[in-house]
Amino acid sequence: MDKLQIHGGVALEGDVRISGAKNATLPILAACLLADGPVIVSNVPHLQDVTTMIELLGRMGVSVTVDEKMRIEVDASTIREHFAPYELVKTMRASILVLGPLLARFGQADVSLPGGCAIGARPVNIHVAGLQAMGADIHIENGYIKARAERLHGARFVLETVTVTGTENLMMAAALATGRTVLENAAREPEVVDLAQFLIAMGAKIQGAGSDTIIIDGVERLHGTSYEVLPDRIEAGTYLVAGAITSGRIRVKNARPGHLDAVIGKLQEAGADVATGENWVEVDMRGRRPRSVDIRTAPYPAFPTDMQAQFAALNTVADGVGTIIETIFENRFMHMLEMRRMGAEIRLEGNTAIIKGVERLTAAPVMATDLRASASLILAALIADGRTEIERIYHIDRGYEAIEEKFQQLGARIRRTPG
């Protein structure tokens, strides 16, 4: 298995172009199942999770073509099966996003139940309950969600917990249901809004995406369209923290500053000078050591759980003591244990990590356990003395496009070695 080798100690400087958002691309590709004509999706990031979603659609008989610019054309008219097998769902939980579209458009879906996950239990009960409220007949059989419906009908549904993919599944299903669906306590993430805009471009009637109440008036059919995916705010945030942790200066281009408010606020608290333009953000530490920050993760627009690990890395070398509280996933602290092996001073109490910044981390062999944990280990390695080797980096390829190239461009000494 490939490894990443990183020699720490370089203050990163320069510009980096942000790719399309993974967590918008995945629901948008699933939503292509709803269209009765070909759809073209652009600004798609070249990532393992995107390849998995394409494979999933392909297995169903959907025709998918990808050009050299990662523009993807999806035509669901050739579909043969309405089935998401365990072997794909177990590698990518976001496969659950085909459940709503398959059921709404074809009246049936057999989707494997996602199993355990490195960051928490992550059940899908709200996805299922919402579809049942819309008239679906759903049974769990042999590890599969077997869903059937003549035609879904609109419903008023209160999501018991704010869930991103749950909101997306229900919004997609409601787009082709009869009558009005009102989703209360909906997720407000920019990726939910991007999916809503994509559905609207296909002819859906949706109001309120981006607020906690989304109103969907079902239509008879959705048509093909062309759509450009929004930039990845988590990738952008990760590079901004790289600038801060190495006391450097990094500008992320092709970003949406408005989606990064909570992250930018914390970078400023850490002592960074932050400048923004229409589609860029720049962080400049002017050679200073960052200050510790307190973080509490919560649904958008609060601080994202997907940036928690990166700020934990920042706190390990910051001046002072910082507390990190993870409220979304119960087991998202595996990176803390690896960072301790690099000399970080971290105390864990349930969902709280208390991190006392040290002057320097030292290189150590470490292991990535999930996507954002991997990113945080790269950040820690960038500031550690010596050569850090990170194993199991397939996690990083699920969510960060061309990560070594992008970091090399900023001056980092990073390379991939075949294992």
Smallest gap from residue 65 Cβ to ligand EPU (A): 23
H-run or E-run covering 18: none
Residues β-bridged to residue 140: 145
Smallest gap from residue 316 Cβ to ligand EPU (A): 20
Q: Closer to ligand EPU by CB, 170 or 342: give it.
A: 170
Closest CA to 31 of 110, 105, 84, 111: 105
Smallest gap from residue 390 Cβ to ligand EPU (A): 17
Residues in the chain: 419
DSSP label at residue 327: -
What is the crossing angle of helices 190-201 and 164-175, to 10°?
10
Smallest gap from residue 273 Cβ to ligand EPU (A): 28
The end-to-end CA distance of the chain, in Å, is: 4
Q: Closer to ligand EPU by CB, 9 or 208: give it.
A: 208
Residues 129, 136: Cα–Cα separation, whole Å: 9
Q: Closer to ligand EPU by CB, 1 or 121: give it.
A: 121
Residues 73, 76: Cα–Cα separation, whole Å: 10
Cβ neighbours for 122, distance < 8 A, ≥ 6 positions apart: 93, 114, 329
DSSP strand pairing (365-367 vs 352-356): unpaired
Residues 174, 168: Cα–Cα separation, whole Å: 10
Q: Closer to ligand EPU by CB, 122 or 251: give it.
A: 122
| Residue 32 is a catalytic residue | no
CA 343 to the chain's CA centroid: 29
Q: Closer to ligand EPU by CB, 125 or 279: give it.
A: 125
For residue 328, CA distances in Å to 67, 96, 111, 237, 311 come to 37, 19, 24, 18, 16
Q: Note the residues at the interface with ligand EPU (CB under 6 A).
A: 23, 26, 93-94, 120-127, 161, 163-166, 191, 305-306, 328-329, 371-372, 399
Smallest gap from residue 397 Cβ to ligand EPU (A): 13
Instruction: Let me know: does 222 contact 30? Beta carbons within 8 Å.
Output: no
Cβ neighbours for 274, distance < 8 A, ≥ 6 positions apart: 264, 267, 268, 281, 282, 283, 284
Q: Closer to ligand EPU by CB, 35 or 164: give it.
A: 164
Q: Closer to ligand EPU by CB, 164 or 183: give it.
A: 164
The b-or-e profile of 39-75 (16+ CB within 10 A means b, else e) is bbbebbbebbbbebbbebbeebebebebeeebebbbb
Among 79, 88, 117, 133, which one carries the catalytic annotation? 117
Instruction: Let me know: does 278 contact 348? Beta carbons within 8 Å.
Output: no
Rounded to 5 degrees, φ, ψ at 327 are -105, -10
Smallest gap from residue 161 Cβ to ligand EPU (A): 4
Smallest gap from residue 178 Cβ to ligand EPU (A): 24
Residues β-bridged to residue 252: 16, 281
Active site residues: 117
